[in-house]
Amino acid sequence: MENIEAEVFYEPFPHVIFHNFYNRDELDLIWEELDFYTKPEKFLEAKDFGGVVDKTNSHALVLDDIFTGKHRKLSNILTVNRKVFDSSVLDVFSEIHDCCSIAKDSNWDCTKVRYYHNGEYYEPHTDKSMQFLAFSYFYREPKVFSGGELIFPKYNYSFNCPNNSLIMMPGWVEHGVSKVSIEDSDYFEGHGRYSITSFFGSKSSST
């Protein structure tokens, strides 16, 4: 897996953390699209993208709602993040625990891009309707914000979301994002915390 480093965790819940997940060329493509969205009237509030309004004040876009069918290839992110579903990645996750074993047979996914600026957060929640989750993280360096950790209060556990890292875990794990604090930075300068979420799993075909 190129220069990707994988850390496997069995406790407090099964998950894998990948460091240096995307290469330089892939990151350039991702940032090109993130920069485009970080403009007025691009990212949407929770009430407009199907988020849980009483849980988050962050902004996001569901890319699958924008780039459908043959138009998916117009999105750098939807193209580059197919890497998440490479067998070399899913095999590592699938072998952690029985509950993760079907990940390697995934046949559907949905991608959401989210941006957190000053004062934005996501209260703990679960994505039980989604079998698996993969979160990747991006921010401009040097990092100028604090907070934004992926938190798991039920497990007394947190992940500080290093730049260009990815965490993969079951959807039933309760998780949230601590409040981001950033000073002297305009929202549209893009110095906050970005994440790309892949919801994925295996669905049986209808007969």
pLDDT, the chain, mean: 93
| Structure-block tokens of residue 9 | 């965790």
Res 140: pLDDT: 97
The CA distance from 86 to 1, in Å, is: 10
What CATH number was assigned to the domain covering residues 19-201? 2.60.120.620
Q: CA distances (Å), 201 to each of 54, 71, 94, 170, 171, in order?
A: 26, 22, 12, 10, 10
Is residue 97 pLDDT above 70, yes or no? yes
Please state the rounded mean pLDDT for residues 104-131: 94
Res 50: pLDDT: 62
Please state the rounded mean pLDDT for residues 90-112: 95
Q: pLDDT category, 2, cuts 50, 70, 90?
A: confident
Is residue 134 pLDDT above 70, yes or no? yes
| Interval 145-177: pLDDT, tens | 999 999 999 999 999 999 999 999 999 999 999
